[in-house]
Chains A and B, each alone.
Chain A
Amino acid sequence: MRAVGRGAPRVVDYDVVVIGSGLAGLVAAAAAAAAGARVGVVAESFGGLAMWSGLVSGKAPAGDEELDAVRFFIEFGVRCGLEYGGCGGSRGAEGEAAREGMEVLSSSGRPVRCLLAPETVWAGDLRNWASSGMQADDGGLLVVGFTELEDYPAAVIAGQAAAETGVRTAHRTVSLGRAAGRGLGVRIAGLFDDPAWFEGFLEASRRLLGREARRFRAVALPPVLGLFRFRSNLEALRENLGTAVFELPAVPPSLPGMRFWHLWRWRLEADGRTTFHLGRRVVEADTHGDRCLAVSDGLTVYRAAAFVLATGGVAGRGLEVPPEAFFRLSKPTGALRPGQAPGGGPARPGERSVPVEPIFGLETCGRRTDWLSWGVRVQDSSRPCPTGGPANVFVAGWQLGGPEPDALLSITTGWQAGRAAADCREEGTQ
């Protein structure tokens, strides 16, 4: 590969390079770093996480490997300060927890099924909406909205929730004052991260909601209770209002997704094994025989023993190389929709768009999906299966197909790909 620019070649060496920093990319980076690899993440931005409600959806994990992946996900989350739990219990029985699945209330006023959810969207024993006893006479839910957050209509949500679940609901909308400005969720989250402002909010919430809140089993708030201090804020609110308090997951821009990205990325950087190259897009891949040697963003060359493609199926902007660069397919495939450029983005004038080859019944990680899906066909080892492709390239996340957003797929394939990529390094050194 030519060294771009003049002067010394701008080459960085890693054991594993992960392309993309969405859910799959972060999990892959964490898994590879946990296996002792030095990891470089080359990514445009936080990809699909911007749209992610934070709920882990998908089919129940099958097999030990998927359970291991879930366990790793939960344990690493705890280290990041972002706890995930399932119905069956929080930490002790992590993997098993996801098996049962849970039902949490979403901001559409409807309970949604998921496998795991962040700690902020449930409170105490309210992990499973159906068995929470909310329908009982002494139950009930108070939906609180903020005047400044117009996208979150408390009255509509409360009405929907009552109609959908038969729970007694009520709604209140409180104003956050002038500081909230023209109220966007994230701006409000910034306020909640300010301890001095939050003190004032606590005081006001006791005055405005205190008496009413006690008559309900739980209080639901918009998911904007801070980008970083959400845990202590929730605890303080629970204590202050004397009842269960939780956030209703909502998108976008998704604060739960942003929290996830910030906290995981911070943890990975603080651990010292992972370097993030953000705002970069891979435009070049260098393959030699059955190995990929390096990728480049046009300025810097990233060399590694193995590569993980976690470039996304929907937002996917991290890769601007035709899939043939990695897979040398006779026919181009890839996580592309008609009219899309090879990078996954909308085709610009003069740019070639790649025809889509639909794959029916894609098999990933031993799970068969029956819908029409696009993606790179992979084997159980999360290696793309076309023969002749580099042996040290692994695929993770939504690129593996499925128009249905399935966070579990990102977690399991991310974990598998990260570990498999880290193993390549050991093979290389032996």
Chain B
Amino acid sequence: MSAAVRGRVSSERRLPLPDACLGCSSCVAVCPVASSDGRFAGPKVLGPAFERLLAGPWPGEPGLGPRDAERLGAGLCLQCHLCDLACPAGVEVSSLTRRAKALARRLPRGGYRRLMDDLLADQERFGRLAAAVRWPRSLLHGTSPWLGRTVDGFAGRLVGLHPARRLPRPPRQPFRAWFEATRRPREERDRQPVILFVGCHGRFHDPVVPRAAVEVLRSAGYRVVAAQEVCCGSPALSVGDEGRARDSLEANARLLDHLSTRLGGGVPIVSPCPSCSLSLRRLLPELIGDGPARAVADAVWDLGEFLAGPARVGLEQAFDRPRHWGDDGAPPSGEEAAVTPWTYHASCHLRALGVGKLFPALLSSLEVPGRLDAGPAADGCCGMGGLTGLTREGYDLSLAAGARVLEAYRSLAAAGPVVLSDCPACRWQIAEATGLKTAHPVELLAARLRDRAGGRNSIG
């Protein structure tokens, strides 16, 4: 007989307990902002210490307020969660710094800037706006790439992006349209369903990643159902807007719970974006509470975790299917030379999920050749911090915070690798700062699968 002895069982690891902080500064040691920006007081001060002083030193005396949060640089926190992983005392530091961030946001700011801040933080609205102007933008880019870039640059400045940041090019076909066009309901009827939580970046700006995810999941034998979703709330949190994040999470909990029930219950929810996975998995129970929210949170998988876990067998079978190009399975001569070297960058939110870096091992076990190692210095935060690094104010900070990591990737430039990362923000930052090609690891998997089917041998 099997005996299970358990302690506290919960998908939510810890509580933000400021009093457990020993003041050891381990969180400051790993904080990408504290080590690169003197204005930022660091997670120890803005987390546990700030929280303790919020209520005021004595009853009746005023505690810390928005001005204090601003003075200590609370707005600069990137919400990368690395401090949580560093704390030896188990304090959920990032939840505490998030509160200080939210407090700093209460300070009155210029009307237009606040408006644009709100627009960027509300990726749902921003994405809809981008979708509305997709046609004219496509037309512009098609007629004259120069004109397209100029207009994009102008629009970017209007919404508060740094001039060096380029808006992604408008997608030729939005993900949803592609998805509906390629669905084969009759063939897929008996397959096990998975809900794909696409994420705003895939839904509105770059459909390549969710497409690759769908292709790979379908090859592994699943019926993919694209969720009716709203933004996961993590962009809102990155500017300290907890109210908006809560609304998004609540809506998602409702939508996903409903969809899962309709599909027969207990359907895994898979997201190719680690920030979405983290937001759903950790913040749903923290901000929304128990009930369906927790059940949804517990059903969320990061794509890498899902492919390396339950989908592994199906994926291996898909890779075992004979190639089209020869009975012995050998590629035609010259094909080996076309191997793209790749290296893998784990985003901070992927680390915070605690699932491990699964894609490199998965790619290696599926015999995807060309792996390069960027060394220990590349193992860290790229500095983008979601939206922060895109904005005019956050740009310099983002390059400084990611300097070491970006330099490590730059040093690989001679080999011309593609940097694989799950996180769209990391890909954006690394591509712009190093000039290297970037992709989601699932794109490489999809390319290899297509390759087996006799298609192109390149990414994207």
Q: Which residues of chain A are near B38, meaning CB under 8 Å?
A: 178-182, 187
User: Does the CB pair B88–A50 fall under 8 Å?
Assistant: yes
Chain B residues whose C-beta falls within 8 Å of the C-beta of A229 in the assembled complex: 377
Looking across the interface, which residue of chain A has its beta carbon closest to that of B265?
Answer: A6
CB distance from A180 to the nearest CB of B (A): 8
Please state if A253 and B90 are interface contacts (CB–CB under 8 Å): no
Of A58-66, A97-105, A261-269, A422-430, the stretch lying at the interface with chain B is: A261-269
CB-based nearest B residue for A193: B404
> Known: A44-B90, A278-B85, A279-B352. Contact between A187 and B34, CB under 8 A?
yes
CB-CB contacts of A247-273 with B at 8 A, as 1s and 0s?
Answer: 000001101001000110011011010
Tell whether, in the assembled complex, residue B88 and residue A81 are in contact, meaning their CB atoms are under 8 Å apart. Answer: no
**Is the Cβ of A281 less than 8 Å from the Cβ of B90?**
yes
| A283: interface (CB < 8 Å) | yes
B413 at the interface (CB under 8 A from A): no
Residues of B within 8 A of A321 (CB): 5-7
- Residue of A258, A269, A279, A288 ringed by the most chain B CB atoms within 10 A: A279
Which residues of chain A from 181 to 222 have any CB-CB distance to chain B below 8 Å in the complex?
A: 181-182, 184-187, 189-190, 193-195
Once A and B bind, how many residue pairs between them come within 8 Å at the CB atom?
Answer: 195
A280 at the interface (CB under 8 A from B): yes
Asked if A5 CB lies within 8 Å of chain B CBs, one says: yes
- Chain B count of residues within 8 A CB distance of the other chain: 66
Q: B89 contacts A317, CB within 8 Å?
A: yes
Closest to B84 in A: A279
The CA-CA distance from A283 to B12 in the complex, in Å, is 12
1/0 per residue, CB under 8 A from A, across B66-90: the answer is 0000000000000000001111111
Digit string of A41-55 for contact with B (CB within 8 Å is 1, else 0)? 000111110110000
A272 & B35 in contact (Cβ 8 Å cutoff):
no
Task: Look across to chain A and name the residue whose beta carbon is closest to the beta carbon of B356.
Answer: A275
Across the interface, do B298 and A4 meet the contact criterion of CB distance under 8 Å?
A: yes
Neighbouring B residues of A8 by C-beta, 8 Å: 268, 309-310
Q: Is the CB of A278 within 8 A of B354?
A: yes
Select the residue from B11, B25, B26, B28 with max chain A CB neighbours within 10 A: B26
Which residues of the other chain, A, contact B90 by a CB distance below 8 angstroms? 44, 281, 317, 345
Instruction: Name which residue of chain A comes closest to B35, CB basis.
Output: A190
- Are A7 and B268 within 8 A (Cβ)? yes
In the complex, which residues of chain A have a beta carbon less than 8 angstroms from the beta carbon of B2?
1, 286-288, 293
Contact of A1 among B4, B39, B361 (CB under 8 A): B4
Chain B CB within 8 A of A68 CB:
no
The answer to whether A186 and B4 touch across the interface, beta carbons within 8 angstroms, is no
Question: Which residue of the partner chain, among B34, B85, B358, B377, contacts A279 with CB atoms under 8 Å?
Answer: B85
When distances are taken between beta carbons in the complex, the residues of chain A under 8 Å from B309 are: 8, 10-12
Contact present for A284 and B4 (CB under 8 Å): yes
- Quote the shortest CB–CB distance from B195 to chain A (angstroms): 9
Given A178-B38, A279-B85, also A51-B5 (CB < 8 A):
no
B232 to chain A, nearest CB (A): 18
Kindly state whether residue B42 has any CB partner on chain A within 8 Å. yes
Residues of A contacting B360 in the complex (Cβ-Cβ under 8 angstroms)? 272
Judged by a CB distance under 8 angstroms, whether A324 is at the interface is: yes
Partner of B24, one of A182, A252, A287, A346: A252
In the complex, the answer to whether A266 meets B34 with C-beta atoms within 8 Å is no
The one of B7, B26, B354 that contacts A280, using a Cβ cutoff of 8 Å: B354
Residues of B within 8 A of A50 (CB): 24, 26, 29, 86, 88
| Interface assignment of B139: CB less than 8 Å from any CB of chain A | no
Is the pair B403, A184 in contact by a Cβ cutoff of 8 Å?
no
> Could you jot down 16 A-B contacts, CB within 8 Å?
A6-B265, A6-B266, A11-B309, A48-B88, A178-B38, A184-B28, A186-B34, A187-B34, A253-B29, A266-B379, A279-B351, A281-B90, A284-B9, A285-B6, A286-B4, A297-B13
- A residues contacting B by CB (< 8 A) are 1-2, 4-8, 10-12, 40, 44-48, 50-51, 81, 178-182, 184-187, 189-190, 193-195, 228-229, 252-253, 255, 258, 262-263, 266-267, 269-270, 272, 275-281, 283-288, 293, 296-300, 315, 317, 320-322, 324-325, 342-343, 345-346
Known A1-B2, A5-B298, A8-B309; further 9 A-B contacts with Cβ < 8 A: A6-B267, A10-B305, A45-B86, A179-B38, A194-B407, A287-B5, A293-B2, A298-B10, A299-B11
Minimum-distance CB pairs A-B, first 8:
A181-B38, A5-B298, A190-B35, A325-B5, A275-B356, A284-B6, A266-B376, A186-B29
